[in-house]
Amino acid sequence: MYKNIKVIALDADDTLWVNEPYFREVEHQFAKLLSPYETENKINQELYKKEMDNLELYGYGVKGFVLSMVEAAIEISNNKVNSKEIQQILDFGKEMLSKPIELLDGAEEVLKKLSPKYKLILATKGDLLDQERKLKKSGLLKYFDHIEVLSDKKEDNYKRLIEFLEVAPSEFLMIGNSLKSDILPLVALNSNAIHVPYHTTWIHEEVTQNDNVDSYKTIQSLSDVLVFL
Ligand SMILES: [Mg+2]
C-alpha cells in the first residue's frame, strides 16, 4: 500500500511528544485562579471563545494562549483582575515554554528505523521559536531532513509543502494525531495519511462528522507504522 512513498511527514505535538495535557493542566490552574469570579465551566468556555476569536491574529501556540488567558481574565473578572493575577497567568505561560520534553512511546525508535529509508519531514504548527526549542530538547532533530512549522494545517498548506518537496501527493505520507489537521487535508489531496489518536484532543481539533474512514489508516501506537513502512 505504501510502496510509492518517498517522503514521510510527522506531526510533533501529541504524535512524537506530550503537549495537549499541559494545556489542560494550565486551563485548570487558570480556572482556580479566577474561581472568586466564576465557575470553572464558564471560565473554560470564555477562554476557549477568546482563543477562537484570537486565532487568526495570534496563530497557534503558547504565546497566543497566554494573551487569550489575560483577555479572558479581564472580562471574566469584570475588570477586577489585579496585577498579581496577571503575573500568575504570565508565569503559567513561561512554565509551559520551559517544560522538559516527554517523548511518546516508540517515537525515537520509529524515526531511527524510517530515516534511512525515507526523507523525513517534521510538519507542525505553533510558535516557531517554541517548536524549535522543543525539537532541540527532544534529541530528535538529527532524524529529520526538513522542518516545516506551518501557520495552519489546511489543504492549501499541505499542497504548498508537497510542491516544495517536489514529490507527487501519492509519494507523500503524513502521520499524526489530529484528524482535522494531520489526516483529512491529505485525504482531500489524494495523498496518504496514518492516524495515531492521542487520548487528549483540543476541542478545536475535534471532527464531528467523518465520512473518510476508508481513505486513511488508523493505528493504536506510533510503533505500529513499522509494520507497513
Ligand atoms: Mg498533534
The string of pLDDT tens digits covering residues 34-92 is 999 999 999 999 999 999 999 999 999 999 999 999 999 999 999 999 999 999 999 99
The rounded Å distance from CA 79 to ligand 1 centre is 35
Amino acid in the structure at residue 168: A
CA of residue 3 to ligand 1 center, whole Å: 25
What is the Å distance from ligand 1's center to 15 Cα?
5
Which amino acid is present at 95?
Answer: E
Query: Distance from the CA of 129 to the center of ligand 1, in angstroms?
Result: 17
Sign of the CA dihedral running 37, 39, 42, 46: positive
Cα 61 to Cα 6, 19, 51, 97, 150: the distances in Å are 30, 10, 10, 10, 12
Rounded to an integer, the average pLDDT of 11-36 is 97
pLDDT tens by residue, 189-222: 999 999 999 988 888 888 877 888 889 999 999 9
Ligand 1 centroid to Cα of residue 130, in Å, is: 14
Q: How far is the CA of 123 from the centre of ligand 1 (A)?
A: 10
Strands (E), 39-151: 119-125, 146-150
Taking the centre of ligand 1 as the mean of its atom positions, its distance from the CA of residue 81, in whole angstroms, is 33
Cα of 82 vs centre of ligand 1, distance in Å, is: 34
Whether the CB-CB separation of 72 and 47 falls below 8 Å is answered with yes
pLDDT tens-place string over residues 98-145: 999 999 999 999 999 999 999 999 999 988 999 999 999 999 999 999
User: Look-up: residue for cell 501529541?
Assistant: 14
Parallel, antiparallel or unpaired: strands 119-125 and 172-176: unpaired
- Cα(134) to ligand 1 centroid in Å equals 13
Distance 90 CA to ligand 1 centre (A): 24
Query: What is the helix (H) or strand (E) element at residue 176, kind and residue range?
Result: strand 172-176
Query: Which residue in 212, 176, 169 sits closest to 10, CA to CA?
Result: 176
Sheet holding 172-176, edge to edge: 146-150, 119-125, 7-10, 172-176, 192-195, 217-218
* Distance of CA 88 from the midpoint of ligand 1 (Å): 27
Q: Residue 207's pLDDT is what?
A: 86
Q: How far is the CA of 175 from the centre of ligand 1 (A)?
A: 9
Residue 44 CB partners (closer than 8 Å, separation 6+) = 27, 31
203: number of Cβ within 10 Å: 9
Distance 85 CA to ligand 1 centre (A): 30
Kindly give the distance from the C-alpha atom of residue 107 to the centroid of ligand 1, in angstroms, as a whole number: 13
227 Cα to the center of ligand 1, angstroms = 22
| pTM above threshold 0.85 | yes
Centre of ligand 1 from the C-alpha of residue 43, in Å: 25
